[in-house]
Structure 1
Amino acid sequence: MPKIGSHVSFSDKGLLNAAEEAVSYGSSTFMIYTGAPQNTRRKPIESQYIEEGKTLMDKHGIDEIIVHAPYIINLGSYKEDTFELAVNFLQEEIRRTDYLGVRNIVLHPGAYTDKDAEYGVNRIAEGLNEVLAGTKDTKVNIALETMAGKGSEVGRSFEEIAAIIEKVEDNGRLTVCLDTCHVHDAGYDIINDLDGVLDHFDRVVGLDRIAVIHLNDSKNPRGASKDRHAPVGSGWIGYEAMNNVVHHDKLKHLPMILETPWIGKEDKTQRPMYEAEIALLSRNLNGRFGDDFLDHVERIDHLLTKKDIHHRDFILNTWDLLKTDAKAKKTDGREPMERLYDLLHEERLFPDLSEEQINQRLTVWLAGKNALKK
C-alpha cells in the first residue's frame, strides 16, 4: 500500500497538531514546515510537542514524514546577504529536521534572478556545498524539488537537477522530490508516457535519487511553466495519470505528499480535498466513507450524465474556456470544481451537505466510474 499524505500545519502544538491533522485525513505520511514558510521566525524545536506527536504517529502507523524548507531560501541569489541568509537558515532547518528524526528536507533549488541558468546552477551548488559541510553531524538529506520553469527558477529540467548534483562534493546527501504538477508544467508527458519520463530521469539523474513525490494536478496544459496546483482529477493531468504515478512499480514505495488547494467559496472554513484524494488514490473509498457516500457519487453521475457532462471533457473544456475568457477579459473565473458545485447546489441534490462534503463527492466523480471499482 503506498504511503500517501498531505502538507499539514505545524501550529501551536507543533508535531502533535500536524499529526492530528494528518490522521484526520487518513494519511499514512505527511509533510510539514517547522515554522512559517515565508519568514525566519522559529520557536525552539524542543518545545514543539515532538514526543506527543510521535506517539500519535506510532498509534496510526505513520513511520516516515517529510520536512519542506522555507520558500525564502534562495541559494541561487547573486546578492551576498540573500545567499548568506539562505545558507545559514537552511543549515538551521536541517538541524531542526534532524531533531525530529526526519531524513529528507525538500528544497526549491533557487532562482538566478538577474543572471542566467548556468550562474544559478553554479551558485546553488556552491551554497549546497557550504550547507552540507556545516551539517555533517546530521543524517538529513536535501531533496531538490523538480520545478515548473516559471521565472528564473532552476530545476526546470532533469538536466539542471543533475548539473547541480554533479557539482556538489557530498552529493550522497542529495535526493530529489519529483512534483507531478511541476514536471507536467515543465513539459514532461507523465500523462501518456510516464515510463518514458521515468526512463529519462533514470538516465540523467537516477531513479534511486527520488526520495519523495509531490502529488499535484495542474491548472495548466503541459509545458505552460506556470506552477498552479489543482485538486486531483480537476486539472490537466487528471486522476488516471495521478493514479498511475501512485501505483507505479518504481515509485510506489516512496512517501507521496498532496499539496492540492481548496477550491470553493468558503475557503477560510473548509479543508482541501485531502481525505477524499487519499482514500481515492489508496483505493480505500468504501473503507473510509462507506456505501452512502458511494451512492451519492452514483447520484451525481446519474444527474450529470443526463446533462451530457463527462468528467474529463468538462474539466478540459472549462480550462480552455477560462483561458479564452481571460483573453477577452470576462469576469467569470469559476474553476471546474466551483462550476460543478454550483450546478449541484442549484439542483438541490444534497441540501444537507456542506460545500466540503459535496466537493469530496465531486472529487471521486471526477475520477470516473473505474475508480469506484478499485
Structure 2
Amino acid sequence: MIKTSQLHIGCHLSSAKGFLAMGREAVKLDADVFAFFTRNPRGGRAKELDLDDVAAFLAYKEEHGLGTLVAHAPYTMNACAAKENLRVFAHNAMADDLARLEHLPGNLYNFHPGSHVGQGAEKGIELIAGQLNDVIFPEQKTTVLLETMAGKGTEVGRSFEELRAIIDRVEQQDKIGVCLDTCHVWDGGYDIQNHLDEVLTEFDKIIGLDRLKAIHLNDSQNERGSHKDRHARIGEGKIGLEALVRVIRHDALKNLPFILETPNDAAGYAREIAMLRGKAEA
C-alpha cells in the first residue's frame, strides 16, 4: 500500500504503545512517515525496548511503504547547560538513544542543540560538539540532526552560521545533518514566506543542502523575527498556507520527510495531511 503522492508527510505520534501501534496510527492518518520521542519529552527514563514489537513494526513498515522515521530527543536534554549534572544527563540520554536506534537502522535522530545559559554561544557550540564527538560512533546507522531554533533566550542554533559552527567541529561528518523547522526559522528572522529561494540559497552556501535531511512543517503564531517559537496550525499563522505549500513543492525539499508539529489532535493531523497531499499534487 505505497503512496502514489511524492509528499512524505506525517506527525508526532505517541510511542507509549510501541512501534507497531505507531505504524498503524500513521497508516490510519494517511501518513507515510512519522516522528516520535525517544523518551518522555519532559522526563528522563526511556521505556524498555520491546524487540518483538520492533521486528513486527519493521515488517509492517515495509508492507505499508512507511518511510524514514524522525526520532526526537527529549526537550530536557541540554548539551550545553551551565550545570554539569544536566550535561551528564544530556550525554547519557543521547548515547542511550543512539544505541537503541540501532535496532531501527537508517533513520534520523533530531535534537534541539541547547541553551548556553549565559556562557555565550561560542562556549555552547563547543560543548554541543564535544557531546556529539563523545556519543556518535563510526558504525552507527542513524543520522543525527541539529534542529534550527527560533532563538528565544540563550538558544544555540538560532542561525545557519551557529549550526555550521557545530557541524565543523563534529568528527564523524557523515553522521550529522540538519532538520529545518519552518516556524523556528521564521521566528528566527528568515523570510520563507516571500524569499524561500533566497533562504535556501543561504542555507546551501553556509551549511549545504546535502545536510538537510528533514523538515518540521509548522505555521507560526508570531511575526517574523519574534524569537518566540509558538507553533500554529497550517494556514492559521503568520507564515500562511501558500508559503508552506511552496515549501513542500520546492525541488530542493519535496523528497524529504515532512513532520507536522502543529497544535492538533489525531483528526486535526489527518485533515492537515489530506490538505497538504492535495496541494502537493495540484
SS in 2 for 1:191: coil
Note the 1:178-257 alignment, pairs <5 A.
178-257=180-259
Could you tell me whether the CA contact under 8 Å between 1:261 and 1:272 is conserved in 2? no
Is 1:6 the equivalent of 2:11? yes
Is 1:271 the equivalent of 2:232? no
- Picking from 19, 28, 31, the partner of 1:27 is 31
Gaps of 5+ in 2: 1-5
Matches of 2:281 and 2:152, distance apart in 1: 38
Q: 1:52 to 1:194 in 2, by over 3 A?
A: same
1:122: which partner in 2?
126
Matches of 1:221 and 1:95, distance apart in 2: 40
Gaps of 5+ in 1: 263-269, 284-370
Judge which range, 57-66 or 228-237, deviates more: 57-66
Q: State which structure, 1 or 2, has the greater radius of gyration over its C-alpha atoms.
A: 1
1:349: which partner in 2?
none
Is 1:71 the equivalent of 2:75? yes
Shift of 1:372: 11
Shift of 1:34: 2.6
User: How many residues matched?
Assistant: 277
SS in 2 for 1:29: coil
> What's the CA shift string for 1:17-63, capped at 9, x where partnerless?
21122112100111111321222222221357112222332232113
Provide the TM-score with structure 1 as the length reference: 0.71
SS in 2 for 1:163: helix
Q: 1:240 to 1:94 in 2, by over 3 A?
A: same
Q: 1:248 to 1:85 in 2, by over 3 A?
A: same
Matches of 1:124 and 1:63, distance apart in 2: 29
Shift of 1:16: 1.2
1:50: which partner in 2?
54
Shift of 1:148: 0.4
SS in 1 for 2:266: coil
Shift of 1:102: 4.1
2:3: which partner in 1?
none
Matches of 1:74 and 1:92, distance apart in 2: 15
Q: Which amino acid aligns with 2:50?
A: E
More helix as a share of residues: 1
Matches of 1:63 and 1:206, distance apart in 2: 23
Q: RMSD of the TM alignment (CA)?
A: 1.7
Over the matched positions of the two proteins, sequence identity in percent amounts to 44
Matches of 2:177 and 2:120, distance apart in 1: 24
Could you tell me whether the CA contact under 8 Å between 1:260 and 1:272 is conserved in 2? no
Q: Which amino acid aligns with 2:130?
A: E
Q: Which amino acid aligns with 2:223?
A: P
Note the 1:343-354 alignment, pairs <5 A.
none
